[in-house]
């Protein structure tokens, strides 16, 4: 393996790390969006406190806007914003909903039955990382392998196929890893912090 090949591998690894960072930051939300969310949440919660008789539809829409999705129950949103560091908890729950749920009987966030066992999450995270690494390698393979295989430069055009095709699987695998990891963090941190307010189970 010559120096040029080593440099290409290093650049590919750097690109993989950069993509991972971008995906993680995108999943957690931009700074500008966080500022807008803060202003809205402050105004909405202030309206509820000032006018307890707001129409229930207005209240529901407000909670959905805070969560950034209508696919959650209002009770879930209320519970999450009752926790310390509510902004992070809410984003983690939205991101990891495939793996976690609010158990109404205990009024706690827990893993869904399929993912309760630690090993079931470990092997999924390991598989996600493996798929991500293989996907990234295959996505950039024309740059890495063309010289080793003695192919002509025109074969670099294969990257137009490999990058979107295998890149999609790499990105999807990394997002799966992030979702599981954030779900684990949410459950763990929730156990260490009690809700700041009591959440009634009544509708």
Q: What is the DSSP string of the chain?
A: --HHHHHHHHHHHHHHHHHHHHHHHHHH--HHHHHHHHHHHHHHHHHHHH-TT--HHHHHHHHHHHHT-SSS-HHHHHHHHTSTTHHHHHHHHHHHTTTEEEETTTTEEEE-GGG-SHHHHHHHHHHHHHHHHHHHHHHTHHHHHTTTTT--GGGGGGHHHHHHHHHHHHHHHHHHHHHHHHHHHHHHHHHHS--SSPPP---
Ranges of each domain in the chain: 3-192
| pLDDT above 80: residue 68 | no
pLDDT of residue 124: 96
pLDDT band of 64, cuts 50, 70, 90: confident
Segment 174-187, tens digit of pLDDT:
889 999 999 999 98
Q: Say whether pTM exceeds 0.85.
A: no
């Amino acid at each position: 393996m010559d120096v040029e090949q080593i440099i290409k591998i290093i650049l590919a690894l750097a690109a993989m790390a950069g993509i991972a960072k971008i995906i993680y930051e995108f999943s957690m939300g931009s700074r500008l969006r966080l500022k807008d969310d803060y202003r809205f949440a402050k105004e909405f919660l202030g309206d509820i406190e000032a006018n307890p008789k707001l129409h229930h539809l207005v209240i529901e829409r407000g909670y959905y806007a805070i969560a950034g999705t209508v696919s959650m129950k209002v009770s879930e949103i209320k519970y999450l914003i009752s926790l310390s560091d509510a902004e992070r908890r809410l984003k983690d729950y939205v991101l990891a909903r495939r793996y976690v749920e609010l158990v109404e009987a205990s009024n706690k966030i827990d893993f869904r039955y399929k993912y309760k066992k630690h090993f079931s999450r470990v092997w999924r995270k390991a598989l996600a990382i493996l798929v991500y690494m293989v996907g990234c390698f295959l996505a950039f393979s024309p740059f890495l392998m063309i010289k080793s295989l003695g192919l002509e430069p025109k074969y670099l055009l294969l990257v137009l196929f490999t990058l979107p095709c295998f890149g999609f699987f790499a990105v999807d695998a990394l997002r799966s890893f992030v979702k599981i990891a954030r779900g684990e963090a949410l459950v763990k941190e929730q156990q260490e912090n009690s809700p700041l307010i009591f959440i009634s189970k009544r509708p």
